[in-house]
Structure 1
Amino acid sequence: MDFPILNTSHILLDQLTPADSMALFELFSNQSVIKYYDLEAMTELTQANNLITLFNSRFNENKGIRWAIRLKESNELIGTCGFNSWNAKMQSAVIGYDLHPDYWGKGYVTDAVNCIVKAAFAGKLACNIHRIQADTVLGNAASEAVLLKVGFKEEGIRRHSGYWKNQFHDLKCFGLLKTEFKYQ
């Protein structure tokens, strides 16, 4: 299957390439972006290259998919989004996303998440998806707002279910079923 290219009126979602290394490095070296993320801030460009390789290997091995979020008018990479993993047998996927702070509060992530959820539920990806799950670290109100706008339901808190940056994290679980999604 070819890498699916998606778009909305404002953004283009396509595959990350080595040419995106510097923009990805700027994204993931920003402390604001990784505040709730399970990785440390990048300090070397090679880390961005390795992340691009990881994201693309997930797609090539049919384990998940990660899109670049680009502004349509300039093709500038401003973030990423996708399914960190999926389980074909269970018809489920785990979603994730990030965005450069210069573009927060403008609706780009909500637009991107809505777009990829719509593609997943419409059968445009490599496996059937019936349920999409998202986890947020407690206190990440902006991410929770995105999920709720797209139609995710809060399902509860999983205590100490994450461990990174030398501490346990409670994660708030959100879920969205294909039968609940309202196509926009």
Structure 2
Amino acid sequence: MITELHTERLFLRKMNVLDAASLFEIWSDPEVTRFMNITPFTDEHQAIAMINILDDLSQENKAIRFSIIAQESNEIIGSCGYNLLDYDNLKAEIGYDIARSHWGKGYATEAISSLLAHAFSTMKLNRIEAKVDPDHVNSIKLLLKLNFTYEGTLRAYERAGETFNDLNMYSKLATDE
């Protein structure tokens, strides 16, 4: 499985424990994690544990998560990847997060575009999915900009504490290119 992707301004590298301090800074921001299925981290060991979980999934060929690195500064500014790989059905689910200080600069669009290109051209996947909180307007705008199709709302799909949240399902097919 590929461990690096390059774009005009970004370097996507398979995340590792050396990234923990930078990712902790991102994942401890309540604004960044607001629509993620995690609560803001309070200790760097949580980031290490998350990276280890993601690495285990990668070793099993079930997922891969990349640290997003701005080439100009060599700074980790977020993460993205295939949260779930289903080779039997030639599909994957994507996820992404960007540090608040880098919002609005087109980095998420650039990173996700590279994931899509790799998924369709190299991995020969047929379908890419993204599940998004209906209130996460910026993420929805990103997916629509990348020509994802809204498929509907998954009612009470994900548990957050004592409540169940709806998620909107978006997809893009290889034939949509």
The CA deviation at 1:4 is 2.8
Q: Which residue of 2 aligns with 1:78?
A: 77
Whole-Å Cα distance in 1 between the matches of residues 81 and 111 of structure 2? 9
Check the 8 A contact 1:79/1:99 in 2, yes or no: yes
Q: Which residue of 1 aligns with 2:128?
A: 132
Q: Per-residue displacement from partner, 1:108-138 (whole Å, max 9, x unpaired)?
A: 0010001111001012x4xx41101101111
Determine whether 1:155 maps to 2:151: yes
Q: 2:159 corresponds to which letter in structure 1?
A: Y
Matches within 5 A, 1:6-155: 6-123=5-122, 125=123, 128-155=124-151
Whole-Å Cα distance in 2 between the matches of residues 163 and 109 of structure 1? 26
Q: 1:91 corresponds to which letter in structure 2?
A: L
The CA deviation at 1:9 is 1.0
Whole-Å Cα distance in 1 between the matches of residues 162 and 28 of structure 2? 19
Secondary structure of 1:122's counterpart equals helix
Dislocated runs of 4+, deviation >4 Å: none
Q: 2:21 corresponds to which letter in structure 1?
A: M
Whole-Å Cα distance in 2 between the matches of residues 100 and 43 of structure 1? 16
The CA deviation at 1:86 is 1.2
The CA deviation at 1:58 is 1.6
Check the 8 A contact 1:39/1:165 in 2, yes or no: no
Whole-Å Cα distance in 1 between the matches of residues 6 and 26 of structure 2? 21
Secondary structure of 1:48's counterpart equals helix
Mind listing any 5+ residue stretches in structure 1 that lack a counterpart?
Answer: none
Whole-Å Cα distance in 1 between the matches of residues 127 and 33 of structure 2? 26
- TM-score between both structures, scaled by the size of structure 1: 0.92
Check the 8 A contact 1:38/1:165 in 2, yes or no: no
The CA deviation at 1:17 is 1.9
Equivalent residues, number: 177
- TM-score between both structures, scaled by the size of structure 2: 0.96
RMSD of the alignment, in Å?
1.1
Secondary structure of 2:153's counterpart equals strand
